[in-house]
């Protein structure tokens, strides 16, 4: 079978993508324009909105929101996770709340955020933050706790200070786990971004989806979704790249 | 002759005892280890050899008695005492060079001092050319060479070895034993060498401390009156076989008795 070879694999992928595009195009011509649009019309709308500068503005607006929420999630989640892993009573006190919040679909909290914080940029960034922070926090705590006690003992044996123990041992050991959390946060943050832009004040790509839907502009709607899909794929790849970059030494088997 | 060359006592254990909760691990260990002496410690698994070593390093406190190193009571890990761990304990995210430099860096050595001193220790253990490898890229034997270099790099006056060759294959183990003897001859220090291999205990030690019982205590201290430097030839001497048999007999007396009971 040719699928075993690299060339065969690329061939299959290309064929699959072409078949998908063809099905999209065909469905657009069969199904009513209110529900679906052909790929060609979607791409046309895409190019139009891109030319007018509207698309770029919306993407930048979304990205600003996304990156703010994600950055805050990483900056808060990773250090706090390390502290929780190291300070037992704090972890015991908080771990149930963290598990509850991690398990909660964050969309459920949006009405509260809306009624408390209103419609600005801040509540939307908070939504992205809430979507993204728990994977970072959770993976960091679990990672830092999984360190072999032997490695910590060795550090003490060489007369480490608590500060050096963090720099030399705890942080480098935990980094790959945090990266796994960040990869998940990258994906969840994107969901948070779209949710915030649809359920709070409309802006960015979420607004494009809303506008397309309300105006029965199906090509516009599909164009916005297509962009989000492409962004999602690119960001996931970037996340996996980051994760691998920081986990080179995981090939080690103690 | 040989006894004289041990020099002054560098480690003094007096009535040392340790328990974990209700489990008493060892009790009443009183012993001195000289400046240039290798004390091999052997005993059945679970007898507290490693626990004793951790107490010597000050990683865990004693419950009874006292251990003094260089005349000072051990209250925590001391400067001048270094450990080689059974499972190497290398930091997997550090290269060989950075692992070897770890102790020196913690001791506050400058970058220049590290660049100047570390290569010597890497050469000493035979790891030249592997400076930039990560632990997972080298064999178990090489990882332990790295662990040994890390301990030697802080120029310890007391070297604590926790079954250092217990996790490598038999051939590598033999190679490392003779390497260790060679390195010790170059820089003789006080060494406490915990092992569960009788051959290794007799080969390495000036004396062999046999721990036995529950809780364990000093069962016997066997003088290894064989000259240094020791090498492969040492293994072939009749005296080596005698001593090994003697330690074996001491260690296995209970096991043999139990076997006989079963056979009856």
> Over chain B (264 residues), what is each successive 10-residue block's mean pLDDT?
66 91 91 93 88 94 93 91 92 94 92 93 92 92 94 94 91 91 92 94 94 88 90 91 92 71 69
DSSP class of residue B216? Answer: B
Q: How far is B77 from chain A (nearest CA, A)?
A: 5
How many angstroms separate the CA atoms of A155 and A168, rounded? 9
Could you tell me how many helices (H) and strands (E) chain A has, helices first?
Answer: 11, 0
Model-level pTM?
Answer: 0.81
Inter-chain residue contact A249 with B89, CB threshold 8 Å: no
- Nearest residue of B to residue A169, measured between CA atoms: B91
Q: A190 and A234, same structural domain?
A: yes
User: Which residues constitute the domain of residue A6?
Assistant: 1-30
In a domain, A195, yes or no: yes
DSSP class of residue B167? Answer: T
Q: Work out how many domains chain A is built from and give that number.
A: 2
User: pLDDT for A123-163, tens place per residue?
Assistant: 999 999 999 999 999 999 999 999 988 999 999 999 999 99
Contacts for A177 with CB less than 8 Å, ≥ 6 apart: A139, A140, A142, A143, A144, A146
Q: A199 and A160, same structural domain?
A: yes
Q: A114 and A14, same structural domain?
A: no
In a domain, A6, yes or no: yes
Q: How far is B59 from chain A (nearest CA, A)?
A: 7
Q: A176 and A213, same structural domain?
A: yes
Inter-chain residue contact A158 with B154, CB threshold 8 Å: yes
Could you tell me how many helices (H) and strands (E) chain B has, helices first?
Answer: 8, 10
The hierarchical CATH code for the domain B3-80+157-232 is 3.40.50.300
Domain boundaries, chain B: 3-80+157-232, 89-155
Across all residues in chain A, what is the average pLDDT?
88
User: pLDDT for A9-60, tens place per residue?
Assistant: 899 999 999 999 999 999 888 888 778 888 888 888 888 888 888 888 989 9
In a domain, A107, yes or no: yes
Q: A13 and A127, same structural domain?
A: no
Which of residues 15 through 74 in chain B touch A, CB cutoff 8 A? 54, 57, 59
- Burial code (b: 16+ CB inside 10 Å, e: under 16) for A213-251 equals eeeebbbbbbbbbbbbeebeeebeeebeebbeebeebee
State the complex-level ipTM.
0.87
């Amino acid at each position: 079978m040719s699928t075993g070879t690299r060339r065969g694999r690329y061939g299959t992928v290309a064929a699959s993508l072409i078949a998908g595009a063809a099905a999209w195009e065909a469905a657009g011509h069969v199904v009513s324009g209110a529900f679906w649009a052909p790929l060609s019309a979607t791409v046309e709308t895409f190019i139009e909105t891109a030319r007018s500068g509207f698309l770029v503005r919306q993407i930048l607006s979304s990205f600003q929101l996304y990156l703010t929420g994600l950055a805050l999630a990483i900056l808060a989640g990773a250090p706090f996770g390390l502290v929780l892993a190291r300070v037992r009573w704090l972890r015991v006190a908080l771990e149930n709340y963290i598990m509850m919040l991690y398990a909660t679909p964050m969309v459920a909290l949006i009405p509260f955020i809306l009624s408390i914080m209103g419609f600005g940029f801040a509540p939307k960034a908070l939504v992205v933050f809430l979507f993204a922070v728990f994977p970072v926090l959770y993976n960091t705590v679990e990672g830092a706790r999984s360190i072999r006690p032997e490695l910590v003992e060795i550090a003490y044996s060489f007369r480490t200070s608590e500060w050096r123990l963090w720099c030399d041992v705890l942080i480098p050991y935990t980094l790959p786990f945090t990266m796994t959390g960040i990869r998940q946060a990258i994906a969840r943050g994107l969901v948070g971004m779209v949710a915030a832009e649809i359920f709070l004040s409309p802006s960015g790509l979420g607004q494009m989806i809303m506008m397309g839907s309300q105006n029965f502009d199906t090509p516009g709607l599909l164009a916005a979704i297509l962009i989000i899909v492409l962004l999602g794929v690119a960001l996931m790849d970037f996340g996996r790249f980051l994760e691998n970059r920081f986990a080179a030494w995981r090939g080690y088997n103690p | 002759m040989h006894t004289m060359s041990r020099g002054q006592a560098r480690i003094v254990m007096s009535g040392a005892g340790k328990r974990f909760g209700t489990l008493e691990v060892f009790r009443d260990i009183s012993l001195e280890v000289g400046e240039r002496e290798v004390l091999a410690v052997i005993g059945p698994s679970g007898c507290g050899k490693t626990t004793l070593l951790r107490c010597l390093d000050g990683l865990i406190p004693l419950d009874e008695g006292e251990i003094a190193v260089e005349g000072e009571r051990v209250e925590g890990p001391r400067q001048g005492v270094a450990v080689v761990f059974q499972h190497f304990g290398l930091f997997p995210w550090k290269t060989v060079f950075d692992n070897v430099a770890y102790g020196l860096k913690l001791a506050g050595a400058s970058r220049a001092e590290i660049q100047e001193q570390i290569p010597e220790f890497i050469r000493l253990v035979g790891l030249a050319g592997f400076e930039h490898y990560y632990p997972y890229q080298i064999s178990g034997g090489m990882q332990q060479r790295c662990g040994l270099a890390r301990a030697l790099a802080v120029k310890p006056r007391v070297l604590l070895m926790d079954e250092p060759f217990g996790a490598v294959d038999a051939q590598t183990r033999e190679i490392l034993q003779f390497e260790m003897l060679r390195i010790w001859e170059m820089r003789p220090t006080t060494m406490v060498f915990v092992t569960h291999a009788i051959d290794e205990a007799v080969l390495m030690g000036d004396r062999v401390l046999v721990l036995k019982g529950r809780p364990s205590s000093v069962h016997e201290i066997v003088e290894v009156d064989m000259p240094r430097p020791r090498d492969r030839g040492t293994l072939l001497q009749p005296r080596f076989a005698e001593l090994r048999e003697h330690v074996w007999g001491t260690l296995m007396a209970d096991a043999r008795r139990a076997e006989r009971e079963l056979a009856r």
